[in-house]
């Protein structure tokens, strides 16, 4: 696929922003500086990036409990995300949503979501709304392998197929739902085959290869925009960290996965892979890549300073912006 240098740089920046943001979040949560639960997607950066790189700003996404990467890839601001995760007033939801409820309608981000499988009908509804309103917009829906066993997955794929809605369903298959290996609770080896049951295309994608994700996403988005209906993409990937930050307790004798498996997947790091591909082909220089990392580190220092200095919301504001 012929991709210009600007796009490659944009994708590299997106993956590094996700990795570095979430690495900081993980460390801050372990230091008890961040309240509540945080789920990071370290190791899964290529799927969020490759999909969002194929979308327009006006296109929409729905996300999950593991949503920082999706939001960053769609253009989310790191300072407002950081403040939200700190529970501060300067955050996207004025500190009342936290990690799992970040929304930015101006960027087409319809929300992270703590309810597994909840994004599927929202994305389907958003695609229907676009068709009814005559807007040329595509909705991309991120969800996990666990969510593909929820009723919402099956209902959404069916309706989106029947009405040929402009949706791209993106299953990020990281092999586990919490501490349960996917194969022990899922009737098929590959989630992509479930597309056949709804008469739509389904593709298995190397979710650690950002260029492959981008290629499949470009085709699925074009198909959706042309009124030909939805596509299911299954991005095979792996999460390096626990289901939730602070999960070390589950790495003992009774662990649900082996350390060697984690190490094996670390060797397939999506960022290093893309970096090598860019350097080997002389597409991007090492200095350009390093510059992106140092710019992102600086952006993160500022985002953390912003979050720390932002105020906590007042108890009197608890029902503001909430339907009661």
Ligand X SMILES: Cc1ncc(C[n+]2csc(CCOP(=O)(O)OP(=O)(O)O)c2C)c(N)n1
Give the footprint of ligand X on this chain (CB under 6 A): 65-66, 114-117, 144-147, 174, 176-178, 243
Q: H-type helices in 177-243, by residue range?
A: 210-225
> CB of 229: closest distance to ligand X in angstroms?
24
> CB of 77: closest distance to ligand X in angstroms?
23
> Which residue reads 């300072």 in tokens?
79
275 token code pair? 């970096």
Q: What CA–CA distance (Å, rounded) separates 36 from 119?
A: 21
- 266-282: string of b/e by CB count within 10 Å (b at 16+)? eeebbbebbbeebeeee
Q: Which residues contact 73 (CB under 8 A, 6 or more apart)?
A: 14, 18, 48, 49, 51, 52, 53
**Closer to ligand X by Cβ: residue 187 or 319:** 187
**Closer to ligand X by Cβ: residue 235 or 304:** 235
> Which residue reads 């500086």 in tokens?
33
**Closer to ligand X by Cβ: residue 52 or 292:** 52
**Closer to ligand X by Cβ: residue 89 or 101:** 101
Q: How far is CA 167 from CA 77, 215, 321, in A?
A: 25, 16, 29
Helix axes 5-30, 45-52, angle to 10 degrees: 140
Q: Which residue is nearest to ligand X (CB)?
A: 144
> CB of 49: closest distance to ligand X in angstroms?
16
Residue-wise DSSP of 66-120: S-HHHHHHTT--HHHHHHHHTT-TTSTTTTSS-GGG--BGGGTB----SSTTTHH
> CB of 64: closest distance to ligand X in angstroms?
6
> CB of 295: closest distance to ligand X in angstroms?
28
**Closer to ligand X by Cβ: residue 229 or 270:** 270
Q: E-strand spans in the chain?
A: 60-62, 139-144, 167-173, 176-177, 180-181, 202-206, 231-236
Q: What CA–CA distance (Å, rounded) separates 89 from 93?
A: 8
The DSSP code for 148 is G
> CB of 214: closest distance to ligand X in angstroms?
21
**Closer to ligand X by Cβ: residue 117 or 229:** 117
**Closer to ligand X by Cβ: residue 88 or 243:** 243
87 token code pair? 């529970």
**Closer to ligand X by Cβ: residue 186 or 231:** 186
> CB of 244: closest distance to ligand X in angstroms?
8
Q: Please report, to the nearest 10 degrees, the dihedral formed by the alpha carbons of residues 160, 109, 93, 299 taken in order.
A: 150
**Closer to ligand X by Cβ: residue 111 or 177:** 177
> CB of 45: closest distance to ligand X in angstroms?
13
């Amino acid at each position: 696929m012929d991709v210009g240098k600007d796009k490659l740089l944009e994708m590299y920046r997106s993956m590094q922003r996700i990795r570095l943001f979430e690495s900081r979040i993980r460390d801050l949560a372990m230091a008890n500086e961040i309240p509540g639960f945080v789920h990071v997607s370290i190791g899964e950066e290529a799927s969020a990036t490759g999909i969002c790189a194929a979308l327009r700003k006006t296109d929409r996404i729905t996300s999950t409990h593991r949503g920082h990467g999706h939001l960053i890839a769609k253009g989310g601001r790191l300072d407002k995300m950081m403040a939200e995760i700190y529970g501060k007033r300067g955050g996207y939801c004025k500190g009342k949503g936290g990690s799992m409820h970040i929304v930015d309608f101006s960027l087409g981000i319809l929300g992270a979501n703590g309810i597994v499988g909840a994004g599927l009908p929202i994305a389907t509804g958003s695609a229907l709304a676009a068709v009814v309103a005559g807007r040329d917009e595509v909705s991309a829906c991120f969800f996990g392998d666990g969510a593909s066993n929820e009723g919402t997955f099956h209902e959404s794929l069916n309706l989106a197929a029947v009405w040929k809605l402009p949706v791209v369903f993106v299953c990020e298959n990281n092999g586990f739902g919490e501490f349960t290996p996917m194969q022990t609770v899922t009737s098929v080896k590959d989630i992509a085959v479930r597309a056949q049951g709804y008469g739509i295309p389904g593709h298995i994608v190397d979710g650690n290869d950002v260029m492959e994700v981008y290629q499949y996403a470009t085709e699925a988005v074009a198909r959706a925009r042309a009124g030909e209906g939805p596509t299911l993409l299954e991005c095979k990937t792996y999460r390096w960290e626990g289901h939730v930050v602070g999960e070390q307790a589950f790495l003992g004798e009774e662990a649900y996965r082996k350390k060697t498996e984690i190490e094996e997947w670390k060797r397939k790091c999506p960022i290093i892979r893309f970096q090598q591909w860019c350097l080997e082909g002389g597409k991007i220089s090492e200095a350009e890549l390093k510059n992106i990392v140092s710019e992102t580190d600086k952006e993160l220092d500022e985002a953390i300073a912003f979050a720390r200095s932002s105020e906590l919301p007042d108890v009197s504001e608890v029902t503001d912006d909430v339907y009661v």
